[in-house]
Chains A and B, each alone.
Chain A
Amino acid sequence: MSRAIEGPARAGRLAQFASRLASPVALLVIWQIASMTGLLSPRILAGPGDIVATASRLIASGELINGLIVSFLRVLAGFSIALVAGIVLALISGLSRFGEAVIDPPVQMLKAMPFLGLLPLFILWFGIGEMPKIGLVAFGAIFPIYLTLYGGIRGIDRKLIEAGQTMDLGTTSIIRHIIIPGALPSLLVGVRYGLSVAWLSLVVGEQINASSGIGYTISYARDFMQTDVIVVCLLVYAILGLLTDGLVRMIEAYALRWRPEVFG
């Protein structure tokens, strides 16, 4: 029976996909025509053909790959800091009333701050090297991680903890076998959200005073009005963001494999 449904369903999905693709393709074609006829000046926006050519030139020269690695390492460093600090803080305030009283109020207050606006301060504090960029990434990403894990711990079903107590599990075992796995689904949501914030912070942080990385390539291209380079760099950011998100989704699919599959 399922096979009988599957055929038309798949064909339907394919048709849907094609119809969704139609308008972006049309836009690309219009964009290309506008560029070729001179309607769209390359100073405003380079055409798709130029962008592809520039991308292959930047890849061949190694410039793009180098920048990409530098940028990726910044996100990696900043996000790792956020992950460790966010998890530690959330565990402390999630597991003890005292920790909650000490940690949660200041975190909630800092969360209200538009963190990208902190960049000038970070530059004053840390100079113009790697530190302000990594710091901005870490600062932006820590909140989603902290908030989701903290909420996840607080939301654990008390009945499961009681069941653990009747099985003579000690506090460490209850944290390890019940609280942490129970809070993991919400933490993973926070990790994905935190990653997107991390990339956003990096884009902003790198535009200022960078001497390497994709952001540096962008500011250099801006000075010479190379819109094609700028677009290529933006695409690279997008791809990197999608890749890291996909990685977390894979981790999610494995770590939460105990959830029954919902079909359809």
Chain B
Amino acid sequence: MIPLVDIRQLTRSFGGAAVLDGIDLTTAPGEFVALLGRSGSGKTTLLRILAGLDTAPAEKLQLTTRRSVVFQEPRLLPWKSVIDNVALGLRHPDARTLATQALDEVGLSHRLDAWPLTLSGGEAQRSALARALVREPELLLLDEPFASLDALTRLRMHELVLALWRKHRPAVLLVTHDVWEAVALADRILVLDQGHFIREINVDIDRPRRRDDRRTGRIEAALLEDLGVLPTQD
């Protein structure tokens, strides 16, 4: 099986300081990877390289070009209706039908013709998700896509992402601050610190995962320690 991402010894520096310092990363098709790390640890930097928005020296840097991105902000074009945003750039004779289906999947079939600036935060992020998925990516890059949403909406988005992932089976790389988000969603969790992955955890727990499960609790505690946040005892 050819990996979608095959990176060896990737280094990215800004003004002499290496933010990524010899990173190795491989991602198999259909795999759900979560990337954790403190603020400023270089998560977005890595994701931008994976997205082809930035480049950096590496021994090996092999990336699929069938990839799409959802950023922390929706980044919809405000002057195009939701459906036109999703259909933009699709090279397909039935682009609008595909866009309609994609918006239906994220539960926005009633907002097809809405202007993006009139959407709620959750609706806008769901549109961005539809815009990413309609391209049928092999690799879906998510940079803290739910960070600005309220807790309840965020939980709904987790379910939605899992459902869409099961249906379309892209490999996912989810950048997040939220330890529970990583534990709830990912097959594999990586922690980035000081330019290196300081931990890699395979999460072999059936979904849906419960927060009161002892196994998820242990993983959460270990991750919080890596991030320099002591787990609260109760």
Is residue A165 within 8 Å, beta carbon to beta carbon, of the partner chain? Answer: yes
Q: Would you give the shortest CB distance from A188 to chain B, in whole angstroms? A: 13
Which among B53, B68, B71, B117 is the interface contact of A258 at CB below 8 angstroms?
A: B117
> In the complex, which residues of chain B have a beta carbon less than 8 angstroms from the beta carbon of A173?
89
Interface stretch (choices A126-134, A141-149, A176-184, A207-215): A176-184
> In this assembly, does A105 line the interface, its C-beta being within 8 Å of a C-beta of chain B?
no
Query: B68 to A177, Cβ gap below 8 A?
Result: no
Q: Count A interface residues, CB 8 Å.
A: 20
B75 touches A160 (CB 8 A): yes
Contact A169 B88 (CB under 8 A): yes
| Closest chain B residue, CB of each to CB of A181 | B79
CB A8 to nearest CB in B, in angstroms, measures 29
Closest 4 CB pairs of A and B: A163-B75, A167-B89, A181-B79, A166-B69
User: Does A3 touch B at the CB level, under 8 Å?
Assistant: no
Choose among A169, A181, A182, A257 the residue that contacts B89 (Cβ–Cβ < 8 A).
Answer: A169
User: Chain B: interface secondary structure?
Assistant: loop
* Contacts A166-B53, A258-B80 known; 17 new A-B pairs at CB < 8 A: A160-B75, A165-B52, A165-B53, A166-B69, A167-B89, A167-B131, A168-B135, A169-B88, A169-B89, A177-B80, A178-B77, A181-B80, A182-B79, A258-B115, A258-B116, A258-B117, A260-B117
Cα distance, A221 to B19, chains bound together (Å) = 77
Kindly state whether residue A259 has any CB partner on chain B within 8 Å: yes
Instruction: Say if the beta carbon of B233 comes within 8 Å of chain A.
Output: no
Given B67, B71, B79, B115, which contacts A163 in the complex, CB threshold below 8 Å? Answer: B71
Query: Nearest B residue to A167 by beta-carbon distance?
Result: B89
Contacts of B51 in A (CB 8 A): 166
Contacts between chains A and B (CB distance < 8 A), count: 52
B52-A166 in contact (CB<8A): yes
Whether, in the assembled complex, A159 has its beta carbon less than 8 Å from a beta carbon of chain B, the answer is: yes
Is the C-beta of A162 less than 8 angstroms from some C-beta in chain B?
yes
CB-defined contacts of A167 to chain B, threshold 8 Å: 68, 88-89, 131, 135
B31 CB-CB contact with A under 8 Å: no
Report the interface size for chain B: residues with CB under 8 A from the other chain.
Answer: 21
Query: Nearest chain-A residue to B48 (Cβ)?
Result: A162
A240-264 Cβ-contact flags toward B at 8 Å (1 or 0):
0000000000000000011110000
Q: Are B78 and A258 in contact (CB under 8 A)?
A: yes
Within the complex, what minimum Cβ distance (angstroms) separates A175 from chain B?
13
- Residues in A with CB closer than 8 Å to B73 are 159
* A159/B117 contact (C-beta < 8 A), A165-B53, A167-B135, A177-B88 known: no
Question: Is B120 on the interface with A (CB-CB < 8 A)?
Answer: no
B-side contacts of A181, CB under 8 Å: 77, 79-80
Cβ–Cβ < 8 Å partners of B89 in chain A: 164, 167-169, 173
Q: Can you report 17 residue pairs joining A to B where beta carbons are below 8 Å apart?
A: A160-B75, A162-B53, A162-B75, A163-B71, A165-B52, A166-B51, A166-B67, A167-B88, A167-B89, A169-B88, A181-B80, A258-B78, A258-B80, A258-B116, A259-B78, A259-B117, A260-B118
Complex Cα distance, B87 from A173, in Å, reads: 13
CA–CA, A167 and B73, complex, Å: 15
Residues 170-200 of chain A, each 1 if its beta carbon lies under 8 Å from chain B, else 0: 0001000110011010000000000000000
The listed residue with most B CB atoms (<10 A of its CB), out of A160, A168, A169, A260, is A168
